Amino acid sequence: MKKEMRYLVPGDYMADPAVHVFNDRLYIYPSHDWESGIEENDNGDHFDMKDYHVFSTDDVMQGEIIDHGLALQVADILWAGRQLWDCDVALKDGMYYMYFPLKDQNDIFRIGVAISNRPEGPFIPLPDPMRGSYSIDPAIFDNGDGEYYMYFGGLWGGQLQRYRDNKALECAVLPEGNEAALPARVAKLSSDMLQFAEEPRPVIILDEHGKPLTAGDNERRFFEASWMHKYNGKYYFSYSTGDTHRLCYAIGDNPYGPFTYQGVILTPVVGWTTHHAIAEFKGKWYLFHHDCVPSKGKTWLRSLKVCELEYDAQGRIITIDGQSSHALKQ
């Protein structure tokens, strides 16, 4: 289905959105692309992001998008190496917790936490990353019962293939063919929101026969960009398939899964990566994502987009055309 799509920050390159409603206002937490001059490669070294800005609006498709300015930068983080990739933010007891992936000084991705008393920041980072954290793409889900869960993980440059059972491997291993696909991870957060409350668990996605998706099932298996939302009592785990350029989703009955594959949310966009967030605001559902149309296909200079998301009578998400020609002008 073709949808009207809006570019949210036409004056800058933002990507990988996390989106939440705080204080009756919608807040967007993207990564911040720039022309780093680093040669493009499959590990994503050219994605050398250095800071975050926070944006907000009270009208998704037509309203003003406010840039609240610099919220956090690599220079503020004591354990920093490089590459401040996508982040997410959660609210608990009046405080806002930002979770961010960043390579440490050994070039290993860890997940850090920064804190603010305002949704727009600035955020003050803790002096150390979360214990036992690894890989990228933290996405925080508030279950509404006082429990918060982090979903995370990404292949290739995201380094998930370097770990098994939360332990680092001597050599990275990517499953192939009929071997089980590498899953995302999920862990409940501690009551103070600063650490894992448990060992991260695999996020298992099942096919229509109840079998885990295989590594060779590139059209459907997980690659990166976890997101969780709840609709009509069901848990919707959505993600990017990476090199097959789809956003897909699976449905389960609890935050841990297992989740049964359902279909495609968004077909491939212009540009290599696909990363998203799904949020309800003022009675409508929206898909936030990015593409590379404004930068004429440069995959490391991505631009934020949004369109309305719809469900059918059975709760299935209606597939959206990622290259819709109906982008709204700013």
CATH, residue 301: 2.115.10.20
Active site residues: 16, 224
Q: Which domain holds residue 178?
A: 5-328
Find the angle CA(137)-CA(139)-CA(143) to the nearest 5 degrees: 165
pTM for this model (two decimals):
0.97
Distance set, CA 249 to CA 156, 228, 239 (Å): 21, 9, 6
Distance CA 112, CA 129 (A): 4
Q: What is the pLDDT of residues 210-262, one digit of tens each?
A: 999 999 999 999 999 999 999 999 999 999 999 999 999 999 999 999 999 99
Distance CA 68, CA 203 (A): 34
What contacts 24+ positions apart, CB below 8 Å, involve 107-113? 107/81, 107/82, 108/134, 108/159, 109/83, 109/85, 109/134, 109/135, 109/136, 109/158, 109/159, 110/79, 110/134, 111/135, 111/138, 111/150, 111/152, 112/77, 112/79, 113/193, 113/194
Assess whether pLDDT exceeds 70 at residue 268.
yes
Distance CA 35, CA 25 (A): 31
Distance CA 267, CA 285 (A): 18
For the chain, state the CA radius of gyration. 18
| Number of folded domains that form the chain | 1
Assess whether pLDDT exceeds 60 at residue 181.
yes
Q: What is the pLDDT of residues 86-144, one digit of tens each?
A: 999 999 999 999 999 999 999 999 999 999 999 999 999 999 999 999 999 999 999 99
Looking at the DSSP bridge assignments, the partners of residue 318 are: none
Assess whether pLDDT exceeds 90 at residue 42.
no
Q: Report the mean per-residue pLDDT for the chain.
A: 96
Rounded to 5 degrees, φ, ψ at 161 are: -70, -5
pLDDT attached to residue 327: 52
Half-sphere exposure of 238 (CA within 13 A, CB side): 27
